[in-house]
Amino acid sequence: MGITAVLVLLNTYPLLVSQDLVFRSKATTLQSSVSVMVNSLSGLDELTEENVAQAMAVVEETGLSRILVTDSAGRILYDTRETGSAVGQYTFYTEVVQALLGNDAFTCQYKDAAFRSRASSPVLYQSQIIGAVYAYEYDTEQASLLEGLRSNLLRLSGIIAVVVVCLSGWLSRALTRKISQLLTAIRQVREGAYSHRADIRGRDEIAQIAQEFNSLTDRLQTTENARRRFVSDASHELKTPLAAIRLLTDSILQTENIDPATTREFVTDIGAEAERLSRITEDLLRLTRLDNSVLETPVRVDVLPVLEQVMRMMSLVAQEKQVDLTYEASGECTVLASQDEIHQVIYNLTENGVKYTGSGGAVQVSLRREETWVVLSVADNGPGIPEEDLDRIFERFYRVDKARSRAAGGTGLGLSIVSDMVKKRGGMAQAANRPGGGAVFTVRWPWKGEDAS
């Protein structure tokens, strides 16, 4: 559309401008020739065939096609046309009529590959119009230049049109090919082939969309893998206590004359397994709620009272395990969250500390403010965490030592609950080993005190 307009403009504007230039130059040359002739006739009181022929003989060769001189009535006194001279006849050319009315006249026409220009002026004697001079020029030289320009422009336009058509065809084919590649990739991924990637090179918008699509698919694949792993881990975790329960009930049912003490022991084990099951399901529910962003509306919570409450509770467990549990707090530690969440986070970390340190160990909890963060750290002098496991410790069901964790009643979900809860409130959780041995878990929430920004 746009290109058509450009081509039309290219084929008209330069031609119109050159035509106009030719018209103007014709007007000046022709009018000056006419005025030269008028000058040579001035001084005559009356125009006759003889005196006009005499006067005109002096005028230099003008190169004009035809020159007419008429008297005041329009009768031709002088005509340069060799064949069919119209001397003696009356002329009613508009230009001649105009001149006889006292006006200079000029017209120029471009027709049939020739410029036809006509000019005329009155001949005056003592302010009386005694006749008119009329000049006519038929020019094909400039016209052929113009024709040449016209045909060059036409050829150029043809070349431009062909190039544009080829180029746009090529571009649109490339574009269609890319889009259909992208569509295929989208369909494949929709069908579940998450490993499929759109292979579109380049730096145009389509390639950018393909890159975005690929990174979206990457995320989808990661999420899907995590979901699958989670489902298989969760079923495995649930299967183990269930299998134990079945084994124990079968033993009770199939052993004849089973003594009450053994029965009691088995039933106690069944109870313990059932309790583990309910702990796992509780933790799973908690995680699902976090995944679905079902969070309590955040309120300003002062972390210290919650910490003190957890410490009171945990100190009994610590005493029992002969672990030295201490805590210190400084600064105003207010965060935007819910009291239950804070409780859960501190509880999980402290419980792990006490659980994995064992008798004779020490767990130190500290709460402080660091610039815009409220930082809680739980450090112990237990076995620590192998360096290669540090990155994965917050994953669901991830345990360093499965048997030890199960024996200690762990579900493998405690740390992922901590990490998810803190992240949902704009904070983060980290695990590290202490230089002198033992692990340290650090959690930071954005500080939301009275004068926090």
The contact pattern for ligand ADP, residues 37-76, with x = CB under 6 A and - = no contact, is: ----------------------------------------
Q: Is 439 in the site for ligand ADP (CB under 6 A)?
A: yes
Q: Which of 111, 94, 99 lies closest to 72, judged by CA? A: 99
CA distance 77 to 85: 10
74 vs 353 by CB, closer to ligand ADP? 353
- CB distance 121 to 132 below 8 Å: yes
- Given the complex with ligand ADP, which of 70 and 405 has the nearer CB atom? 405
> For residue 287, how many other CB atoms are within 10 A of its CB?
18
When asked if residue 198 is in the footprint of ligand ADP (CB under 6 A), the reply is no
Nearest approach in angstroms of CB 402 to ligand ADP is 8
Binding ligand ADP by CB under 6 A: which of 106, 115, 134, 356? Answer: 356
* CB nearer ligand ADP, residue 108 or residue 349: 349
> Does position 411 bind ligand ADP by CB under 6 A?
yes
Cβ-based nearer residue to ligand ADP, 217 or 352:
352
Q: CB count, 10 Å around CB of 29?
A: 17
Shortest reach from residue 364's CB to ligand ADP, in Å = 12
**Whole-number Å distance between alpha carbons of 324 and 363:** 6
Residue 232, burial from CB neighbour count under 10 angstroms (0-12, 13-18, 19+): exposed
Cα 29 → chain centroid: 62
By CB under 6 A, is residue 415 in contact with ligand ADP? yes
Contacts with ligand ADP, 246-275, as mask; x by CB under 6 A? ------------------------------
Q: Which residue has 């972390």 as its token pair? A: 303
CB 285 to ligand ADP: min, Å? 15
CB atoms near residue 333 (< 10 Å): 24
Site for ligand ADP in 312-351 (CB under 6 A): 348
Interacting positions 116-155 with ligand ADP (CB under 6 A): none
Is the CB of 114 or the CB of 432 nearer to ligand ADP? 432
Question: Which of 30/325 has CB closer to ligand ADP?
Answer: 325
CB-based contact 366:327 (threshold 8 Å): yes
Angstrom distance (rounded) from CA 336 to CA 421? 12
Site membership for ligand ADP, residue 412 (CB under 6 A): yes
Stretch that binds ligand ADP, among 83-91, 234-242, 303-311, 394-402 (CB under 6 A): 394-402
Q: Residue 417 is encoded by which pair of tokens?
A: 């609950």
Q: Does residue 182 contact residue 201 with C-beta atoms inside 8 Å?
A: no
| Interatomic CA distance for residues 451 and 453, integer angstroms | 6
Phi-psi region of 327 (alpha: psi -120 to 50; beta: other; left: phi over 0): beta
Of residues 68, 185, 385, 443, which one binds ligand ADP by CB under 6 A? 385
Q: Is 306 in the site for ligand ADP (CB under 6 A)?
A: no
What DSSP letter does each residue of 29-44 carry, written as one string? HHHHHHHHHHHHHTT-
Residues 98, 352, 381, 419: which binds ligand ADP (CB under 6 A)?
352
DSSP one-letter string for 360-416: T-EEEEEEEEETTEEEEEEEE-SS---GGGGGGTTSTT--SSHHHHHHTT--S-HHH
Cβ-count burial of 318 within 10 angstroms (0-12 exposed, 13-18 middle, 19+ buried)? buried
Q: Shortest Cβ distance from residue 346 to ligand ADP (Å)?
A: 13
Cα dihedral 253, 259, 260, 264, rounded to 10, equals: -60
Q: How many residues contact ligand ADP, by CB under 6 A? A: 22
Does an H or E element contain 430, and which?
A: strand 428-433
Window contacting ligand ADP (CB under 6 A); options: 108-116, 302-310, 316-324, 396-404: 396-404
276 binds ligand ADP per the rule CB under 6 A:
no
- Interacting span for ligand ADP (CB under 6 A) from 211-219, 317-325, 336-344, 404-412: 404-412
Nearest approach, Cβ of 304 to ligand ADP (angstroms)?
22
Give residues 217-246 in contact with ligand ADP (rule: CB under 6 A).
none
- Residue placing its CB nearer to ligand ADP in the complex, 143 or 318: 318
- With CB under 6 A as the contact rule, which of the stretches 67-75, 304-312, 318-326, 382-390 interacts with ligand ADP? 382-390
Q: What does the binding site for ligand ADP look like in residue numbers (CB under 6 A)?
A: 348, 352-353, 356, 380, 382-383, 385, 393, 398-401, 405, 410-416, 439
